[in-house]
A and B are shown apart, each in its own frame.
Chain A
Amino acid sequence: MYLHEKLETLTRSEIEALQWERLQRTLERCMNSPFYRKRFADAHLTLADIRSLDDLQKIPFTTKQDLRDNYPFGLAAVPMSEVVRLHSSSGTTGTPTVILHTQKDLDEWANAVARCLYMVGLRRGDVFQNSSGYGMFTGGLGFQYGAERLGMLTVPAAAGNTKRQIKFIRDFGTTALHAIPSYASRIHEVMEEMGVDPRRDTKLRTLIIGAEPHSEEQRRKIEQMLGVKAYNSFGMSEMCGPGVAFECTEQNGMHIWEDYYIVEIVDPVTLEPVPDGEVGELVLTTINREAMPLLRYRTRDLTRFLPGECPCGRHHRRLDRMKGRSDDMMILKGVNIFPIQIETVLMQFEELGTDYLITLTNEEANDLMTVEVELKDFSDDYARLQALTKEITRQLKDEILLTPLVKLVPKGALPKQEGKAVRVRDLRKTLI
């Protein structure tokens, strides 16, 4: 049941003791990095000021901008001669960033991924096919080494060429596939075109999905289509890549490996910890990495801790599905609002379609939010439309504490979206 039984079943106090021990070693190592030496000096901090896990909060946050500003090797905490691998982000939003690894870092990364895969029932003898891009993208090599560490026959199919993916799945007897959710749907579509029935013609039974936001309904749909169990995976290149958090067979939240990371969830504006169970920005401190430790790294991903114990026996806390990026946050009349909060409310109404647009305006210094949402099935019943509008408004108010103007619009009335959907238009004029 557990690949690393001792580490996976640590009690909370054992986890914290291990974290404290590993944090101290990490901090010592950080003092070899020019970046952190300066960061500590600027904050008038010394290692002696950090006397317990709680003191972690004295340390300033590290941001993606810090990684950019110190590109490529400014955060190295070991001599470059000990670095055996680097991964670099695409840099679509500016200067690329670089993450460095020693051989031990790579080993620990592979161990983490292997632990995740074992947790969902994969074993030596399974055939694991990886449809991630290889190269700089960490989903490729990350899963490759983890799956090999577990002893599985690992097929680096890489991205694209769906017919060939399906041929591999059939010819090699693939039992487990890693794919982003939209690509899993695509594979099913092409299987149908080819007359391949996944249940009859393949041995697929496990799907690893991640990297792309998706709902529980989407997961169930993919499971149904491909006849598999699909498990949610969370990772990011700054934290190695895949293997940071992973669902167990309960399929209820992702255990984040607290022997690798110290986990905080903070309010993205005040940067204070949010009460347990509330949504905030995920902040991670690596405590099992040599080449390039990161202290209190702001991931920009929004999530929350799931309350309660997991029946699987692991005490590593569970993260809820990522709820979006803190960059998407709106501030309206001083209230922080995330588009996902609005989406969640809207998606509960059967009468509504999936398209919506939030527009922010201000009249005489008064912020106003308008939520336009597509009506799925129109019926000419004014009273019902009005009642529906009222109910949506009420539920949104309960969620965001402000009363938006809700407008039901016909299908296709909202601007067509290409690529990543734009959900928020901020037309507010600054009054200064």
Chain B
Amino acid sequence: MTVHQISIFVENKSGTLLHVLDLFKESGIQLIASTISDTVEYGIYRVICSEPKRAYEVLKAAGISASVSEVFAITLDNSPGRAADAVRFITGAGIGISYLYSFLLGGKGILVFRTDDVERTKEVIRAQGLSSIDDEGLMALA
């Protein structure tokens, strides 16, 4: 139901992002999806990639602040409106979404998100029969 995501605390400074990407390149780690968010206070670069645990070790060895967490990932049919349907179930249950990003992979829509209530989100996914995916499933599509 969840995939591993690496969150990297980045400085809002030219070259920081490239440094991270170069480390992945050198270690043969493949990006599947990534998103960067920048507020006045902090920049957070979130990455889904092959071998997340090794990716985390690589970053740690390079002295980069990062953490690994599990985030929800569900697959959607590749047609308009499916994301709205999925989000409606979550929001309709009164669950707050902290952040969300989506991408297409192997002909499937993937929705990655974190909510403020892990247990209830799991219940909703099960009850509504949403099709979720894990690390292996994601790599199989890539």
- Report whether B11 and A378 are in contact in the complex, using a CB–CB cutoff of 8 Å: no
Q: In residues 398-422 of chain A, which contact B (Cβ within 8 Å)? A: 406-413
Q: Mark A365-407, 1 if CB is under 8 A from B, else 0.
A: 0000000000101111011011001000000000000000011
Does B7 make an interface contact (CB < 8 A)?
A: yes
Residues of B within 8 Å of A383, CB to CB, are 98
Does B64 make an interface contact (CB < 8 A)?
A: yes
- Report whether B41 and A380 are in contact in the complex, using a CB–CB cutoff of 8 Å: no
Number of A positions contacting B (CB below 8 A): 18
Residues of B within 8 Å of A411, CB to CB, are 63-65
- Report whether B65 and A380 are in contact in the complex, using a CB–CB cutoff of 8 Å: no
Does B29 make an interface contact (CB < 8 A)?
A: no
- Report whether B42 and A408 are in contact in the complex, using a CB–CB cutoff of 8 Å: yes
- Report whether B9 and A410 are in contact in the complex, using a CB–CB cutoff of 8 Å: yes
Residue of A nearest to B6 (CB): A380
Least CB distance, A353 to chain B, in whole angstroms:
10
Residues of A within 8 Å of B31, CB to CB, are none
Majority-rule SS of A interface residues: mixed
- Report whether A375 and B44 are in contact in the complex, using a CB–CB cutoff of 8 Å: no
- Report whether A412 and B63 are in contact in the complex, using a CB–CB cutoff of 8 Å: yes
Q: How far is A223 from B5 in the complex, measured between Cα atoms in Å?
A: 43
Least CB distance, A11 to chain B, in whole angstroms:
56
Least CB distance, A364 to chain B, in whole angstroms:
19
Residues of A within 8 Å of B63, CB to CB, are 411-412
- Report whether B66 and A408 are in contact in the complex, using a CB–CB cutoff of 8 Å: no
Residues of B within 8 Å of A412, CB to CB, are 63-64
- Report whether B42 and A379 are in contact in the complex, using a CB–CB cutoff of 8 Å: no
Residues of B within 8 Å of A386, CB to CB, are 41
- Report whether B67 and A379 are in contact in the complex, using a CB–CB cutoff of 8 Å: yes
Does B27 make an interface contact (CB < 8 A)?
A: no
Residues of B within 8 Å of A409, CB to CB, are 11
Residues of A within 8 Å of B5, CB to CB, are 380
- Report whether B98 and A410 are in contact in the complex, using a CB–CB cutoff of 8 Å: no
- Report whether A410 and B65 are in contact in the complex, using a CB–CB cutoff of 8 Å: yes
- Report whether B65 and A385 are in contact in the complex, using a CB–CB cutoff of 8 Å: no
Choose among A375, A377, A380, A407 the residue with the greatest number of B CB atoms under 10 Å from its CB: A380
- Report whether B9 and A378 are in contact in the complex, using a CB–CB cutoff of 8 Å: yes
Residue of B nearest to A413 (CB): B11
Does B69 make an interface contact (CB < 8 A)?
A: yes
- Report whether B65 and A375 are in contact in the complex, using a CB–CB cutoff of 8 Å: yes
Q: How far is A380 from B13 in the complex, measured between Cα atoms in Å?
A: 19
Choose among A379, A383, A406 the residue with the greatest number of B CB atoms under 10 Å from its CB: A379
Least CB distance, B66 to chain A, in whole angstroms:
7
Q: How far is A380 from B64 in the complex, measured between Cα atoms in Å?
A: 14
Which residue of the partner chain, among B7, B41, B64, B65, contacts A407 with CB atoms under 8 Å? B41
- Report whether A389 and B65 are in contact in the complex, using a CB–CB cutoff of 8 Å: no
Residues of B within 8 Å of A378, CB to CB, are 7, 9, 65-67
Q: Mark B108-133, 1 if CB is under 8 A from A, else 0.
A: 00000000000000000000000000
Q: Mark A171-201, 1 if CB is under 8 A from B, else 0.
A: 0000000000000000000000000000000
- Report whether A380 and B46 are in contact in the complex, using a CB–CB cutoff of 8 Å: yes
Does B10 make an interface contact (CB < 8 A)?
A: yes
Least CB distance, B20 to chain A, in whole angstroms:
11
- Report whether A380 and B11 are in contact in the complex, using a CB–CB cutoff of 8 Å: no
Choose among B11, B46, B64, B66 the residue with the greatest number of A CB atoms under 10 Å from its CB: B11
Which residue of the partner chain, among B11, B44, B67, contacts A382 with CB atoms under 8 Å? B44
Choose among A378, A406, A411 the residue with the greatest number of B CB atoms under 10 Å from its CB: A378
Least CB distance, B43 to chain A, in whole angstroms:
9
- Report whether A382 and B98 are in contact in the complex, using a CB–CB cutoff of 8 Å: yes
Residues of A within 8 Å of B13, CB to CB, are 413
Least CB distance, A379 to chain B, in whole angstroms:
5
- List, sorted by A's number, 20 A–B pairs whose CB atoms are closer than 8 Å: A375-B65, A377-B65, A377-B67, A378-B9, A378-B66, A378-B67, A379-B7, A379-B67, A380-B44, A382-B44, A382-B98, A383-B98, A407-B42, A408-B41, A410-B9, A410-B10, A410-B64, A411-B63, A412-B64, A413-B11
Q: A379-B67, A382-B99, A410-B10 are in contact. List 15 more A-B contacts (CB 8 A).
A: A377-B65, A378-B66, A378-B67, A379-B7, A380-B44, A380-B46, A380-B67, A380-B69, A382-B44, A389-B41, A408-B41, A408-B42, A410-B64, A411-B65, A413-B11
Sort A-B residue pairs by CB-CB distance and give the 9 closest, nearest first: A380-B7, A378-B65, A410-B65, A378-B9, A410-B9, A413-B11, A379-B67, A411-B65, A412-B63
